[in-house]
Amino acid sequence: MQGGTGLLLVLLAAIVLIVVLIVKVRVHAFLALMAACFVVGIGSGMPLADIAGSFEKGVGGTLGFLAAIIGLGSILGKMLEESGGAERIAQTLLNTLGKQRASWVMMLVGFIAGIPVFFEVGFVLLIPLIYVVAKDTRLNLLYLGVPLAISLMTVHCMLPPHPAAMAITGMLDADVGKVILYGLIVGLPTAVIGGPLWIKLACKSEAPATQEAFLEERCETRASKDLPGFGLTLFTILLPLLLMVGKTLAVMGLSKGSAAFGVVSFLGNPLTALAIAVLFAYWSLGLRRGLHMAELLKLTDKSFPPLASILLIIGAGGAFNGMLIDSGIGKVLADSLAQLNMNPIVLAWLVAGLMHFAVGSATVAMISAAGMVLPMLNTHPGVSREIMVIAIGAGAIGWTHVTDSAFWVVKEYLGASLTDALKKFTAGTVLASLVALGLTLLLAKFV
């Protein structure tokens, strides 16, 4: 289909196809994105022989950068999960800040422990602790769980090395250290406002009468566990971020051809930084605590199977992005978006938010939004690519509702009604998304 209008209609048809296949037909997101790629290729009039080649190039170009990084991040998350590191952080913060500030503690725990683990893993990992605190303090489970969930969702969408954030950082050719730095600047206030401050207004802190029976069924007496130290666990989690952000800051004062520049660039590369963090985690959360290499091998093996789905989705998202460029739709889309005269940061946020609302996956929303926003960047050279990454992540936080598996995880584990889950959790993600947009626009004025 030739002509600007025709090409945009092809893109619209591809997006509608993604939504229908994922939401209505219940097709896996990888297959839905793959089908959309072929719709774009055939509908735009690309030679048939070139369509498969463009898909292959898009998948390879995206995963070539990401596959090892995501794998290393998954190992780090598994080490944190199995060692009890997340529980140690939570317990230390609860003891330090007090259980009367438990909603703030759970927000902080989600923000720290959520860095190396996926949303669902982090929530399920920490829910037993929420049950114990709720039982001891008679606090409402929603009062404790929503700040944790909002915090985990914020980190999931904004901070590399999370797969989607890492993927769009590569797709938009942004500096990962700056993305982490900006993500922390925007993400922490977002988690505070969308978490403990929001839930204080939206929910009574006292537990409802039905909560005691709910907790009795789920609170099991757990054997005491030898947990790792707080300081060492925190350093292990933050090590890759320190290396990547450190590189971004250090190279500003180094001459490009110097030996120091080469060393800093090597250590701060995401692949190197995560490899160093994994090796350190093997010692700090494993060997130092009496585990043997055979046990670490088993933990490593267990960390890889959950990655298959996320890698395929990201690969297909990269192919969709490549197909838009190769078909010429990307240029037409960029020209059309430029005519809207809308702030590109707001536009990136809006596209990601609409996609998340429609398909129910923050990862798919971010990858799809990056593919649609990327062609526009050449017409807005003054806009920071790192800011655009944060804007897409900010949009993807919002509208976590019934189409998203994360919504059901939160609802079921907190024993909330559908209405309460929508009012407290979904509304909290929308607020967090709006706050993140405002902070991103403010930050864009200074960077």
How many Å apart are CA 423 and CA 290, to the nearest integer? 46
pLDDT higher than threshold 90 for residue 129: no
Alpha carbon 385 to its chain's center? 17
- How does residue 95 score in pLDDT terms, banded at 50, 70 and 90? confident
pLDDT band at 223 (very low <50, low <70, confident <90, very high): low
* Residue 301 confidence (pLDDT): 94
Q: What is the pLDDT of residues 137-168, one digit of tens each?
A: 888 999 999 999 999 999 999 999 888 899 99
Q: In the numeric block, which tokens belong to residue 266? A: 């090597």
Peptide bond connecting 189 to the previous residue in cis, omega within 30 degrees of 0: no
Half-sphere exposure of 359 (CA within 13 A, CB side): 31
DSSP string of 193-256, one letter each residue: IIIIIHHHHHS-SBPPTTHHHHHHHH-PPPPP--PPPHHHHHHHHHHHHHHHHHHHHHGGGS-T
* CA 150 vs CA 125, 318, 397, 430: distances in Å: 15, 27, 8, 10
**CA–CA distances in Å: residue 42 to residues 27, 52, 326, 370:** 21, 11, 12, 22
pLDDT, greater one: 315 or 393: 393
> What is the distance between the alpha carbons of residues 221 and 252, in angstroms, rounded to a whole number?
53
Lowest mean pLDDT among 1-10, 28-37, 407-416: 1-10
CA angle 156, 97, 148 (to 5 degrees): 25
For 268-310, how does the pLDDT look when each residue is reduced to its tens digit (9 = 90+)? Answer: 999 999 999 999 999 999 999 999 999 999 999 998 988 888 8
Q: Are 4 and 336 within 8 A, CB to CB? A: yes
Supply the range of the domain harboring residue 147.
4-444
Residue 220 has pLDDT above 70, yes or no: no
Q: What is the mean pLDDT of residues 114-132?
A: 85
User: What percent of the chain has pLDDT above 90?
Assistant: 44
User: Amino acid identity of 133?
Assistant: V
The number of domains in the chain is 1
* Confidence (pLDDT) at 288: 92
Which pLDDT band, with edges at 50, 70 and 90, does 442 fall under? very high
In this predicted structure, the answer to whether residue 1 has a pLDDT above a threshold of 70 is no
Distance CA 410, CA 401 (A): 10
